Structure 1
């Protein structure tokens, strides 16, 4: 599926890191306990009076919103590259739809974090894809800086194939995070959005695979 060369080292690391993060997310059990290895103790509901007073969300919901915001931001960045670099009209159309769907979702999840009194991922000051409680853990499906630089340098048919391969892997990470939220999250709003993301991105993966097979 790759263009005239093996998978980039950065892309392989991104997929591996994503898988490792999901093991940490799901290996510790059900409910809030599943996040024990990822969420800092000071922010847990057991130690924060404000969290004790508001039981409508959990640490799982906060982690989902933080991770998915950073994940969506990178997808939007990739989609914006397609505006000037893609050759295929189908790839450009797909990228535009991804951007149109995910920007409002970023705004929605950012609003939740503000409502919950939780800092966003970007306000944590811990680097790309990182947030308070996430230090040392990758966001599933995220591309590395090297992958993004390679995508930015590509044009035409080369860009189209690279974009589709990377976005398929990227969507895979979002689907895994969405499944985790639906299984372990507390607030119906976040679980409903996770279901929407899973269904939409699974359909887009199928669409991208068909496009990739034709290029």
Structure 2
């Protein structure tokens, strides 16, 4: 089964229609506000500019004050699924970098070496972006009651899908030539498939657009690399 297509289908099914509807309404508010600022504003009795919010199909438009329009903006604050994904994916990416760093001196095939270079080039910046996101959105402290079980900093990294065990990493480090190539492709394919599983969970359960964008990037990049590794293996 093509995991990339499966994830895209799952994303389509879990596209959160309420968020789409809210985003569409917000866009309408912003367009109306822009028109107001250009001189076409309706004025409330107190002289304050009012904003016309287009209604959904079959519903009338509403006239809102700027304060009411601000409150109508969809809540895209991070939830436990967003926090868990970013925290765990940083560690997931770090292991991929550890594995890729072994390739230059151990791999026999140039395509394997180039693949390892591409993985490092893609995932290092992604780690940086996720670390910046965490700095802007710190995880709730322990005991706050807002962090779901298993979604805090104390999660078990070894339980993440696709992660290689310490023994597998040792075997990879000890391998050379064609043996390294075969083991690297096997472990990295499983690693990427695990990343797709994690991204799918974030897309289904998360709430923050930035995390959604990061998860979609993982799906696009690592799906292509999985196909490449299967062809090489």
Do both share a fold (TM > 0.5)?
A: yes
1:66 aligns with 2:87: yes
Structure 1 residues 136, 142: closer, same or farther in 2, change over 3 A? closer
Moved runs in structure 1, 4+ residues, more than 4 A?
none
CA contact (8 A) 2:158 2:165 kept: no
Flag the structure with larger Rg. 2
Question: Which has the larger share of helix?
Answer: 1
> Shift of the alpha carbon at 1:97?
0.2
**2:129 match:** 108
Q: 1:173-212 CA deviation, whole Å, 9 max, x = no partner?
A: 0000001111111111111110110111111111001101
Question: Which has the larger share of strand?
Answer: 2
- Give me the whole-angstrom Cα distance separating, in 1, the residues matched to 2:211 and 2:177: 37
Q: 1:110-135 CA deviation, whole Å, 9 max, x = no partner?
A: 1111111239xxxxxxxxxx962524
**1:90 match:** 111
Counting only pairs closer than 5 Å after superposition, residues 40-55 of structure 1 correspond to structure 2 as none
CA contact (8 A) 2:91 2:157 kept: no
Alignment RMSD (CA, Å): 2.1
**2:138 match:** 117
Which blocks of at least 5 consecutive residues in structure 2 are unaligned? 1-15, 17-74, 141-150
CA contact (8 A) 2:87 2:153 kept: no
Q: TM-score, normalised by structure 2?
A: 0.61
Structure 1 residues 108, 192: closer, same or farther in 2, change over 3 A? same
**2:175 match:** 154
Structure 1 residues 164, 185: closer, same or farther in 2, change over 3 A? same
- Give me the whole-angstrom Cα distance separating, in 2, the residues matched to 1:169 and 1:82: 17
Structure 1 residues 131, 148: closer, same or farther in 2, change over 3 A? farther
Which blocks of at least 5 consecutive residues in structure 1 are unaligned? 1-30, 32-53, 120-129
- Give me the whole-angstrom Cα distance separating, in 2, the residues matched to 1:100 and 1:138: 26
